[in-house]
Chains A and B, each alone.
Chain A
Amino acid sequence: MDAMDMESPSTTTMPSPMDASSVLSEEEIRRIAPTRENRLLLVLSIFIGILSGLSVVCFRISIEWLQVLLLGSVPHPGQYRLLLAPMLVGLLVAILVKYFFPQARGSGVNQTKAALYIYNGYISFRTMIGKFITAALAIGSGHSLGPEDPALQIGAGLASIVSRHLRLSRERLRLFAPVGAAAGLAAAFNAPISAILFVIEEVIGRWSAAVLGSIVLAAVSSVVVARAFWGSEPMFHIPSVNLRDNRELLAYAVLGVAGGLASVLFSRLLAWLRPWLRTLPKKTQVWQPAVAGLLVGAIGFFGFPQVMGPGYDVIDHAMHGEYLWHILLTLAILKILATTLSFSSGTPGGMFAPTLFIGAMLGGTVGSVEKIFFPHLTGSIGSYALVGMGVLFAGFLRAPLTSVFMVLEVSGNYSIVLPVILANTIAYLLARSLQTIPIFEVLTLQDGLSLPSMEEAREETALRVEDAVHAPDVPVVFGTDAPASIVETMKKQKVELALVRCRNHRWYVLTASEAAKASQASAAQIEDALPDERAPLLYPDLALDETLPYFRRWPVLPVVNRAVSGFLEGILSQNDVLQCYQNHLQIHIHK
């Protein structure tokens, strides 16, 4: 998606289907019905979930129908339609994208993020329909892409349309896009937890109580709808993994390393080919999906039709040990190539399914090879393929938490959790060290957009009060002390402030003028002359930014111990806080 092409809304609140004279402003609605949006929120979340579920079922059925129509019920090598279908449909899709649905390019994850962060949650109906049609055509014709990311965008688009239809506020419009995204992804994967986690991990970037309830409701509703059609069986069946010997985890660690390296290879290929294709003359761009389709079709025509389309059936075959290790490895390599070609050419479609495919093939390869040398290993080829899926998900898409739950959900098998956590962590760390910028960010930057980096946000070390606190450099006095003696002390030490330890382990930051005033009033104890207000209780583990509002009132802030009430750990000034942030930034830049 080019930033230039982005179709932006003229206003944040779209016109409703109601009569123009009856349209109320956002502020007026808030005034006359302040609880309206909160009440609508949950009902709409369910509606969005159901609509997304139904749309995703239609979307996937469309893809399968198109596959049968364009490639035959089951593609076999040597069929000329394998060359023609992806090529001709690639051309058609390119024309549709160029002239009718310019925002339908790409996977859908970044588009949804852009809608959330740049366009106030606005996704047009045209974009949603365009995504549905072009992605279904591309995937159905055999382009090596998956339906999940488009499903995510379709869900987000539906949510955007529904919330505009109800004339919700800008804040709610922004909130509903990820709700719909979670619903779309949940229906596509038949995995609500993974969808929720992915949206939080990759789209929103942080846990937010305001949105979590809606996301969960929408995801669950969409999965209920999807299961009404597809059934409640997990996507893949593998036997229980019974780790009799913990040393077997080493075998999965090897898979983690292999997956990490494959993720880097895949990312780098995409990061290189996509911008290179964009540097070619503009008139060639309409032909690029067709050429990519021809090349992907050629891979299928000359012996490996498995790489065409999303490939879930092939993953299933691999899990059932239908392929020998060299076939699995070949499929993994060819899928990387085919997906790089399809995606880089700008053909609409997602990368989730290809990622899972590559991971499953790689996992199957590693499992098969390890079984040859260590036949006593208890894990089946299927379990290695399953772990491999998670490994690529963690390494390539950089969603480590989602990757673990995704594997558990698509297999319905909890026994695999230990190998998954181990292998995914290794792959994630390896991929992160070799490829600093995650693929979604690379693609965003290539599109000229600047969206927040979720990985950076996750890894950002939050500064705390303890990082800025310093030992008290002002006199510390008791509330029972005489004001005159305090004034004396302050004069002697040539300071303008003093910390007063008051009753109930509270503190007051006394200025020189306050001390002088109390002294003139002849108060016996300084505490009697002070107002009721006390300095806020700050603890060393508090986030540093939380202290900022208090500096308007207090020139310095006492930091106390959580265990021993009133025990002074140090003091904090506004300058300390700023200094701390600046030092942190310097270190970050230096790194």
Chain B
Amino acid sequence: MGLAEALHRLGGNSLDARQRGRRRRLILQDAAALLSLAGITLALAVVTYFFFYSFRAHRQVLESRWFARGQQDLATGRAQDAVEAFRSALTLSSGNRAYELALAQALADAGRIDEAYAYYSTLLEAKPGDGLLNLRMARLAVRKNDPAEAIALYQAALNGDWLDEGVLRRREVRLELAQYLILQHMPTRAQAELLTAEGNALENSAVMNQIAALLDQAHFLKDALTAYQRAQQHAPSNSPEMLQAFLGEGRVAESLGEYKIARRALERYLIHARQVSSPPEDPSTVEAWFDQLQRMQALDTLPSLPPRQRAQRLLADGSIARHRLRVCIARQSTAAQSTQDAATLAILNSEWKTFPSLHLSQLANDQRKQDSLASLIDQTEIWANQRCGAPTGDDALLLQLATVPNRTE
């Protein structure tokens, strides 16, 4: 259908020829007006496009500049300036996740804890399952001294989303949580977290050492000992992790009274440390420690020893302890003693008097007397430690033995 025909059809029959002509002209004028309007729209669209994108490019430059400035401020410890810089970056790029996290961190670093906490809360409300946000909030709650909130947030961080580094991050969070629980005197919960972490880090000796150290801190010494031993199994030979594990094992075993294990651990440390250029602990220090353990072994009066050997050791330890008691009594003035002290001292004196001049053979044949003497030696060292301060030398070793009743050779 041609244009003329279309125009003819559009022209109503009721119109005369002049009106139809005017009508055709009107249609053409309208078409021209609409075309010109389309042209104007297109031109405006092109102008707007260039205007918009040139501004956006400029804005991106500005926001990157502010962000870089903020990072620099943060790195150089000017957290207050960093806050302003990150806020400026966010003004130019609202909702940018990296900028938001940086701003929250800067607020926290600047000591504006309440602001940082409120900001993190809002970010967290938008992404409640975000592991990193929960962790940072937990750290702020720690700084705000709000243990209940901190633990809940650490827990949320553990359950949160960590993208592709989930296993690693969750383990780190768990260790941090365990450390916090220990500080909050909640060792049992800390132990549960550490044992879970241990189960997920069997082949990582460095993490295992860390877990063992925390178990040690939480006073779960047997678990700590096991963890150190596991760390040794997976640590590369002569690696710092392996040496750390030996040291840890030695320390924990000593605390447990497992002197044989402790000595063996230190021995192994010394053997391996010789092959390493910079061991974590100076071998001479460890050697001194080892000698001390040897001496402790010589002083130890374990019931499992042959009777004669035990009696010999008891007599030697007894003379050390009596000497310590005499020196301590001489140092203490009578007036300074409380009634309870005086009573304890009287008991100790009277008990020592029951062992005036024992013979080795006598003692070796009397199991009960051996036990009584061993107990008296322990009580004497403990009392003297309380009254006259920390002992040195053999007294210190005897005191250590006295405080570990369930020790083994």
Contact = CB atoms under 8 A, between A and B. Distances in A.
Interface stretch (A288-296, A311-319, A418-426): A311-319
B33 A166 contact: yes
Interface in A6-24: 16-18, 22, 24
A54 B40 CA distance: 11
Given A73-B92, A237-B126, A32 B22 contact: yes
A209 interface: no
B119 A322 contact: yes
Given A28-B22, A47-B41, A61 B95 contact: no
Contacts of B48: 54, 57-58, 61, 229
A534 B119 CA distance: 74
Interface in A353-383: 368, 380-382
The secondary structure that dominates the B interface is helix
Interface of A: 16-18, 22, 24, 28-29, 31-33, 36, 40, 43, 47, 50-51, 54-55, 57-58, 61-62, 64-65, 68, 73-74, 76, 162, 165-166, 229, 237-239, 313, 316-317, 319-324, 368, 380-382
A313 B93 CA distance: 9
Contacts of A55: 44
Interface string B137-162: 00000000000000000000000000
B41 A381 contact: no
Nearest to A64: B55
A317 B90 contact: yes
A151 B103 CA distance: 34
9 contacts: A36-B26, A47-B41, A61-B51, A64-B59, A65-B55, A68-B59, A74-B66, A166-B34, A229-B48
Contacts of A382: 122, 125
A51 B123 contact: no
A73 B62 contact: yes
Given A54-B41, A229-B52, A237-B95, A381 B126 contact: no
Given A74-B88, A324-B114, 12 more contacts: A18-B29, A32-B19, A47-B34, A50-B45, A54-B48, A165-B37, A237-B95, A239-B126, A313-B90, A321-B119, A322-B119, A382-B122
A43 B34 CA distance: 9
B358 to A, nearest CB: 71
A68 B60 CA distance: 13
Interface of B: 12, 15, 19-20, 22-23, 25-27, 29-30, 33-34, 37-38, 40-41, 44-45, 47-48, 51-52, 55, 58-59, 62, 65-66, 84, 87-88, 90-92, 94-95, 100, 103, 114-115, 118-119, 121-123, 125-126, 128
Contacts of B115: 322-324
- Kindly name the residue among B12, B34, B94 whose own CB sees the greatest number of chain A CB atoms within 10 A: B94
Contacts of B15: 32
Contacts of B128: 239
A149 B27 CA distance: 36
Contacts of A18: 29
Contacts of A238: 125-126
Q: Which 8 A-B pairs have the closest CB atoms?
A: A321-B122, A74-B88, A321-B118, A380-B125, A313-B91, A239-B125, A73-B62, A32-B23
A54 B22 contact: no
A57 B52 contact: yes
B83 to A, nearest CB: 10
Contacts of B58: 68
A415 to B, nearest CB: 12
Contact of A54 (B19, B33, B44, B121): B44
Contacts of A32: 12, 15, 19-20, 22-23, 26
A441 B261 CA distance: 92
Contacts of A64: 55, 59
Nearest to A379: B125
Contacts of A51: 37, 40-41, 44
A36 B30 CA distance: 9
Given A24-B22, A316-B94, A162 B122 contact: no
A413 to B, nearest CB: 11
A74 B66 CA distance: 9
Contact of B51 (A58, A166, A324): A58
A31 B19 CA distance: 9
A50 B39 CA distance: 12
B122 A319 contact: yes
Contacts of A313: 90-91, 94
Given A24-B26, A74-B88, A321-B122, A54 B45 contact: yes
Contacts of A162: 37
Nearest to A233: B95
A381 B118 contact: yes
Contacts of B103: 322
Contacts of B34: 43, 47, 166
Given A32-B19, A58-B48, A166-B30, A320 B88 contact: no
A35 B51 CA distance: 40
B151 to A, nearest CB: 16
Nearest to B103: A322
Contact of A320 (B51, B100, B114): B100
Contacts of A68: 58-59, 62
A74 B52 CA distance: 19
A80 B65 CA distance: 22
Contact of A58 (B19, B37, B47, B62): B47
A74 B70 CA distance: 14
A54 B51 CA distance: 11
A317 B119 CA distance: 9
A68 B103 CA distance: 22
A31 B11 CA distance: 12
Of B12, B34, B103, most buried by chain A (CB within 10 Å of CB) is: B34
B122 A320 contact: yes
A45 to B, nearest CB: 12
Most buried by B among A36, A65, A320: A320
Contacts of A76: 84, 88
B56 to A, nearest CB: 9
Contact of A368 (B25, B44, B118): B118
Contacts of A36: 26, 30
A244 to B, nearest CB: 14
Nearest to B95: A237
Contacts of A324: 114-115, 118
| Best-buried of B15, B48, B55 by chain A (most CB within 10 Å) | B48
Contact of A61 (B20, B22, B29, B52): B52
Nearest to B21: A32
Contacts of B90: 313, 317
Contacts of A29: 26
Nearest to B53: A229
A55 B103 CA distance: 35
A28 B20 CA distance: 12
A57 B53 CA distance: 11
A22 B41 contact: no
A69 B115 CA distance: 31
A218 to B, nearest CB: 13
A57 B56 CA distance: 12
Nearest to B107: A322
A337 B114 CA distance: 28
